[in-house]
Structure 1
Amino acid sequence: MKEQLQAHLMKRVKQCVSNSRHISCEKIERKKESLSKRKGEIVKARATGKINHQSEELEYSKVFYQVHFQYVINHKDQIYLEEEVEERVAEFYKGILIEDREAAVAQTNEGEAFTIAELTNSNERAYFRYDRLKAVKYAERWWNEYNPRFKSFEVNCTNYISQCLHAGEAPMTGYPNRSKGWWMQSQNWSYSWTVANAFRWYLPNAKSGLRAKEVKDPMELKRGDVICYDFQGDGRFDHTTIVTAKDKDGMPLVNANTANSRMRYWAYEDSTAYTPNIQYKFLHIIDDYS
């Protein structure tokens, strides 16, 4: 089964990159279209699969697996490696692949009852110098693994970004009130640490410790800054990324969890979650000493 799955993955990637139309090529086609607008291209692509578990019923097999995509990107003579990990489900009948689809990711509404005043009200006054290099190094080290020092979640994007910012010397504040400040300690955490929508509202409104200034243009962001995403444009933010590099045009390349990825173009036009109504918030982390 493992050999059949790997052969299927490599055939799929080769078809997609060579412009062969195929139903499973949708994501790569979107990536190619996005790159074409930026005058870039996929030079080489590779996919490797790792089986998490499988179930058997009579002559049917259902395989839950993880696929690691790697794309060598050429953007105006700047070469870099973009990576993405996707959870998928493949179904086989008598050893023949009959379906391969992306696995659904559970959503969480935890922490939706917060108010901005509750999140940002804190008597603690924490000054800090933000070490962007440390934040980016952490983002690169843990983009596709979970640091055992912290609790991990099925929807882990904002938890991962919070860890990156803390690695950059951002201080925790507000413990132990989950509705106040930004923190994770003793197997407990604030809403702003783990929930994308709470995080989006917390950063630009915080009065102490970690806080950010909203900017209008993604080109204004620096490495270690963050982007928040409202895919449906309904006012509820669903996702968070951290800027780890810039492309040849000065646009952000980002790392993220949940759909684990690194050096991904910030706009997420290739994402299955993308809609024409998408809204972004570009947040520049404030350094008290700069």
Structure 2
Amino acid sequence: MDNFGQIKVFIQAAEARNFTLAGRTLGISSSGVGKAIARLEDRVGVRLFHRSTRSIALTPEGTRFLERCQRILSELELAENELSETQQAPRGKLHVSLPLVGMLMMPVLTRFMRIYPLIELDLDFTDRLVDLIHEGFDVVVRTGEVTDASLTTRTLGYFRHRIVGASAYLDRRGEPLSPADLAYHDCLHHKFPGTGKLVPWRLWRDGKDYPVALPRAVVASTLEPLVYMAEEGLGLACLPDYAVHTQLEQGRLRSVLDDYMHQEGVFRAVWPRSRQDSPRVRLFVDFLATHLLPGGGEG
């Protein structure tokens, strides 16, 4: 097996953390994977994996070698894509990490799939902090700031929070006219899945905060149940406007205390600098920036 073939086997084994799974993907036996890795280790003069009867793990040298090999493979893929870009429609696999609220982005993702049917989307929904390089993600979509200088970012759009409830609920319980009124309402809370802490309802006006001890009618780790329960008249929920845009437009929900809600958030696309010129990545990020939320632009 040539040197490049050994490197491809190494990358697959390192990402799968299993010789058998790597062999299935590559169409060779697990012993073939092991022999290719052994020859590669002999050639480079260092051990790349710690091996046991049940598992394998990268050595520190193997981790550094993997990062470099992934960059090289990415550059080779980029070169091939650039050569074929003008000859055929965009195609290939795009591994994307989306936050748990990503299900609310499905109309945009579905539209992308219909326009570019030859691009295979591999979608991973999670709010955990992912390692783009080691986990092989092409693009990650997240809220908040990005400080890693090795990553490229682009702002996809901005959103703000709204306190919403169904007309039936507001007619029955009365519309809150000040933040203090929320203490007498059933409040539907969103919690951070990673920590279990409640997402705060930040109310402020004219530079002054209005903290309120909010009742807890329901706590949920994803937004969709809160949207549904608010529509069913079970209480008030503080939700990003992109999650309730349709419900507000159609009158299924009403927003209250808008003068006190100024908290703004931002969605960003993040990808490794080594893939910044990939046609598929560029196409996907451009599409999200245009269609996902208003206010998309360079970050």
Q: Same fold (TM over 0.5)?
A: no
TM-score by length of 2: 0.26
Rg larger in 1 or in 2? 2
Q: TM-score, normalised by structure 1?
A: 0.26
Higher helix share: 2
